[in-house]
Structure 1
């Protein structure tokens, strides 16, 4: 580990600690150095260190045992997809051991249905851009995603670029408008695969009569403006979500 520059301090401390944790042979030892020693090595205050350790403990990456010290949870490496992290699907697919690919099936302008309009705080029937995408894991379709953005945010010229864009809608939004997505609010449900794709649309290899995880999310920018509404349908036979949770007694 090396000393931390005091720019984005907490993020840098976390990155340095995570790199150190991943370098450990947990079959040999999983105890972290004492807090005083970590502060000395990293060149930071105990307040900053404890803030980062609190976050890691809340996520189940480390375990703090009173009177004994701080230990790395040996099971955290078994988790590829976490529910508490909004990671882009290509990264989730790759971390689950597959080759990722994304294809845009359809982009169109349409009147916002009631749920979409309410999520984006638009007038009923306001026009939105709708993008339908499929994410593949080793050429197996594993995620269907519907993205909705107000036509007041993207121009038609921008949407022409989006048709050939292979990265996240959030990166595209930032590049075109300067809006940076900061957080989202998610609702979780389940749905049968038969009810996901538009009537008459076929995707090769898409399973029939299979339960999918359904996430609907409103994504907010740094000014807390509703910017993107997304419906995501996930084949959990491929992307297996799991979570380490800290029990509260």
Structure 2
């Protein structure tokens, strides 16, 4: 495990350290020293191995438990759920198009990108907590896995997030999460998603090369920053290229 990297990150703050501990532990559970283990070592031993405090280890394990990768059982220890660990496309976690497509062994890229302003109608204004008629930037693109269209994406960002900057001079072709952080200084911390079956309109069906009668999975999401303010509405149409899972924790 990359102990020196973890130790050097201690200057960046507890949240960053625990995030890196989580990433390292997941890597070790999947392909490293714990790949055949049904439970993790005790907190004190993990802290010594990684050169971090037990508080950091405790925070990391709490995050892993919330995500369903482990369960901490009194008198037994930290038990690994390998079925959850091996899931690659979970709807209950942050979905980024490119890493998701790579996990299926394909090359992700986008085409047909359209960026233009619109005026918010009643519904969109309500979603984004802005006034009807306020300007919103609409970003549409088709995402492909190799040469196969797999996602039709539509994102709506309040123009005010750009603080008067000329959005036409900004590269809006990459990850929308990266764009929000880099250009608008907004970090998405949560979202509310509605799942629906959708046939899409004729333009979408043509772009996605759908067979007659073939439907898509539509994720209609409103994304919130760390201050619990909505900063984006996103419509993502997924084809049956994907096999999604949802973890439901009952305790």
Q: Under a length normalisation based on structure 1, what TM-score does the superposition of the two structures give?
A: 0.82
More helix as a share of residues:
2
3-state SS, counterpart of residue 76 of structure 1? helix
Higher RCO (CA < 8 A, seq sep 6+): 1
Partner residue of 1:170?
177
CA positional deviation for 1:93: 1.0
Report deviation, 1:44.
Answer: 3.0
Residue 206 of structure 1: how far off its partner (Å): 3.2
CA distance in 2, matches of 1:142, 1:111: 29
Matches within 5 A, 1:127-142: 127-142=135-150
Offset of residue 81 of structure 1: 0.7
Residues 1:216 and 2:220 are matched in the alignment: yes
| In 1: Cα distance, 2:208 partner to 2:151 partner | 13
For 1:180, the equivalent position in structure 2 comes to: 186
Q: Deviations over 1:133-155 (max 9, x none)?
A: 11112322211111112233346
> Which 5+ residue runs of structure 1 have no aligned equivalent?
none
Q: What are the Cα deviations for residues 151-197 of structure 1, in whole angstroms up to 9, with x where unaligned?
A: 333468422544xx4311232233333x2223232222213224474
Aligned mate of 1:70, from 67, 75, 78: 78
Structure 1 residues 208, 112: closer, same or farther in 2, change over 3 A?
farther
Question: Contact (CA 8 Å) 1:194, 1:210: kept in 2 or not?
Answer: no
Distance 1:10 1:168 in 2: 24
Alignment of 1:87-166 (within 5 A): 87-154=95-162, 157-162=166-171, 165-166=172-173
Uncovered stretches (5+) of structure 2, i.e. residues with no partner = none
The SS at the match of 2:213 is coil
User: Kindly tell me: are residues 132 and 43 of structure 1, through their superposed partners in 2, closer, same or farther at Cα, counting changes over 3 Å?
Assistant: same
Residue aligning to 1:191: 197
TM-score under structure 2 length normalisation: 0.82
